[in-house]
Amino acid sequence: MQAIIEITYLVSSIFFIFGIKYLGSPKTARKGNLFASIGMFMAIVITLFDQKVLTFEWIIIGMLIGSLIGAVLAIKVPMTGMPQMVGMLNGFGGGASTLVALAEYYRINPNYPVDQGLVFNLPIDQGVAIILSLLIGSVTFTGSMIAFGKLQGIVTGKVVKYPLQHPLNLLLLLAVVGGGIYLVINPGTISLVLIIVGVSLLLGVLLVLPIGGADMPVAISLLNSYSGIAGSTTGFVLGNNELIIAGALVGASGIILTLIMCRGMNRSLMNVLLGGWASAGSAPTTAGDVTSVKGDVKSVDSEELAMIFDSASSVIIVPGYGMAVAQAQHSVRDLMNALEKKNINVRFAIHPVAGRMPGHMNVLLAEANVPYDKLFALEDINDDFPNTDVAFVVGANDVVNPAARHDQSSPIFGMPILNVDYAKTVVINKRSMNPGYAGIENELFFGTNSLMYFGDAKDAISKLTNEIKNL
């Protein structure tokens, strides 16, 4: 029987591999997700035949409760709440890994629940695996919950700085490592296990708390990677290859996404993790510092803007987090339809770190029925701005700031940006002149070819669309 179980695990792992492979292309992605879930189903069912599984009542109760909560969450969550949802799910995966490692520790400890004075021989490899699972799983759990809180608005989305931030975190990490070494040598110290879990949970909170809102794409992808690695270490604890393989696949995919996000901001992973841009979170630059870019801001109303759009033949829309906040994706779709009716070519340019998670804008626009082949990545569309009549920026700021190209003193210098200022006309929809996440002025707003269209994205764009239709 054990051989059949192992073979099923192998087949299930293959389903995971194909699942992830198919998730990489829009045409096959749904099939990929189905493959992965079949793999999971196989793994769960065959595990129930394991000779170690002797009672089923708790399993059935747990599976029912978990499935119910998971299904309700998945069906109820609005698309705008997707970053939080993904953040929270990461956390549950990490939490499960910690609990399994802890359960396994208690199971193999012969002096539990009653001290029988037996010698507890914990092999070094298994001991190390248990401690790593506890550490990574716990950090993933609380870190994800803080990320969830930040995205949901329960915890502040700002960069949080606290005294001795880095020494404190380093100290806590060293405490876990030190405690772990002691535990491997003296495996019977149950209280130490609980302390390791407690410190790791605290570490997760402290590590994610300083990360600001616009850096969330990095944090979420990294936590995604952690949840996979935690699964892998749990696999080492249990000696189960399928956990090791599946966890490693997820760990690798999370790391890749993390690096893509960092590259999108031209920052190192360390820089993001240590908490925000130099100026972020501090007071916005004072007027005196920005006199060089101060010029006249030209504002435009919907009627005038409708005529500008009407005479254009190509439009590129650049959405940012502001579109998500205003839930303006449907108004943007209506605008696209109205323009296309007038035979105007409409495309979307998506910056890699626009929004709060990788691919955030794409999901929102997909929800609004914008075909995905109208959405272009930075490197695929950036050269087209000079040939574009109107670039329309909806709720994006730092990712279109030309200072990133030439101003070496700017904190965002070197970040790849969408060259909207090269278009014949740039229209920027914003609620006010407030600076974006990096806390710096955007010289784009003062450009000679720039027009500001003030107002809440949803209302302002609906109004604009009506004007265009009436022309």
Partner 1 sequence: MENLTFLMHIYVFVLAIFVGFELITKVPPTLHTPLMSGSNAISGITIVGALLSAGLEQFTISTILGLVAVIFAMINVVGGFLVTDRMLKMFKKKK
Residue 119 found at the interface with partner 1 (CB under 8 A): no
Among 153, 239, 295, 414, binds partner 1 (CB under 8 A): 239
Taking the least distance from each CB to partner 1, the nearer of 96 and 428 is 96
Mask for 311-340, x = binds partner 1 (CB under 8 A): ------------------------------
Residue 366 found at the interface with partner 1 (CB under 8 A): yes
CA–chain centroid gap for 12, Å, is: 27
> Is 389 marked active-site?
no
CA-nearest of 360, 347, 436, 363 to 400 is 436
Residue 17 found at the interface with partner 1 (CB under 8 A): yes
CA-nearest of 232, 254, 227 to 244 is 232
Residue 70 found at the interface with partner 1 (CB under 8 A): yes
Burial class (CB in 10 A: 0-12, 13-18, 19+), 165: middle
Residue 451 found at the interface with partner 1 (CB under 8 A): no
Active site residue: 215, 398, 421, 456, which one?
Answer: 398
**CA distance from start to end of the chain:** 74
User: Taking the complex as a whole, how short is the minimal distance between the CB of residue 133 and partner 1, in angstroms?
Assistant: 9
Cis peptide before 26 (omega within 30 of 0): no
User: Taking the complex as a whole, how short is the minimal distance between the CB of residue 31 and partner 1, in angstroms?
Assistant: 9
Residue 228 found at the interface with partner 1 (CB under 8 A): yes
Taking the least distance from each CB to partner 1, the nearer of 242 and 441 is 242
Q: What are phi and psi of 268, to 5 degrees?
A: -80, 160
Taking the least distance from each CB to partner 1, the nearer of 250 and 427 is 250
Residue 104 found at the interface with partner 1 (CB under 8 A): yes
User: Taking the complex as a whole, how short is the minimal distance between the CB of residue 269 and partner 1, in angstroms?
Assistant: 16
Taking the least distance from each CB to partner 1, the nearer of 62 and 153 is 62
CA-nearest of 435, 420, 431, 434 to 460 is 431
Residue 36 found at the interface with partner 1 (CB under 8 A): yes
Under 8 Å CB-to-CB from 106, ≥6 apart: which residues? 112
Which range in 18-26, 176-184, 447-455, 461-469 contacts partner 1 by CB under 8 A?
Answer: 18-26
CA-nearest of 224, 249, 222 to 235 is 249
CB 429, CB 394: distance < 8 Å: yes
Q: Which residues are known to be catalytic?
A: 398
